[in-house]
Amino acid sequence: MHLTGKHINYYHICHRKLWLFHSGISFQQTHANVADGTLLHETAYPQRAKRYREVQLDGIKIDFYDPQERVVHEIKRSNKLEHASIAQLQYYLRVLERHGIENPTGLLEYPKIRRTERVVLTDADRAAIEQWEAAIEQLVNLPSCPPVINKPFCKQCSYYEFCYVSEAGVELDLPPLSVAYL
């Protein structure tokens, strides 16, 4: 099974979300979020179209790859839940390695807060990625959806209503929203 970047990202955020995504169950994100993300990719670094390449390998799609420097650039709106973004980028690096690219590195970029984070792969990361892949394979083949996780960021998830609002429209109690979701 070829994994996508979202499989890796969601595995590190919520196993239920991973399962729902893999099962093809999706809900439209709010128009504002989608528009914001698209605009960010189009306008954050306008000079990129010429310098960098889009790469599609196995299940992954890298929007900005610098073949000369062997650097994957990943743009994110927010650095909340950064561990999942780092894992996603590390997975991209591992896929590149598997296709013969030596020592690729990554840059997580947050244009809204003018911050970048360098991401590399260690042997421990490579071993961890093997474990993620095995765990994801098991999770997505579960016969039923894993339980809700009751995290504050659930309110920003596209599955929020599916997970927490009953058919009668009654919302369950959640902890106060303290972090913005990706």
**Nearest to 2, CA basis, from 117, 113, 94, 100:** 94
Q: Cα 155 vs. chain centroid, distance in angstroms?
A: 17
Structure tokens at 68: 């000369």
CB of 126 to ligand SF4, least distance (A): 28
d(CA 82, CA 105): 17
Q: What is the DSSP letter of 30?
A: P
Size of residue set near ligand SF4 by CB under 6 A: 12
CB of 146 to ligand SF4, least distance (A): 8
CB of 119 to ligand SF4, least distance (A): 23
157 is a site residue for ligand SF4 (CB under 6 A) = yes
Contact pick of 76, 119, 159, 182 for ligand SF4 (by CB under 6 A):
159
* Closer of 11 and 159 to ligand SF4 (Cβ): 159
> Dihedral, CA atoms, 82, 152, 15, 113, nearest 10 degrees?
-20
* Closer of 68 and 138 to ligand SF4 (Cβ): 138
148 is a site residue for ligand SF4 (CB under 6 A) = yes
16 is a site residue for ligand SF4 (CB under 6 A) = yes
d(CA 174, CA 64): 37
Alpha helices by DSSP H, 23-66: 31-43, 48-51
Contact pick of 3, 9, 17, 140 for ligand SF4 (by CB under 6 A):
17
Structure tokens at 88: 């996603």
**Footprint on this chain of ligand SF4 (rule: CB under 6 A):** 14, 16-17, 20, 148-149, 151, 154, 157, 159-160, 163
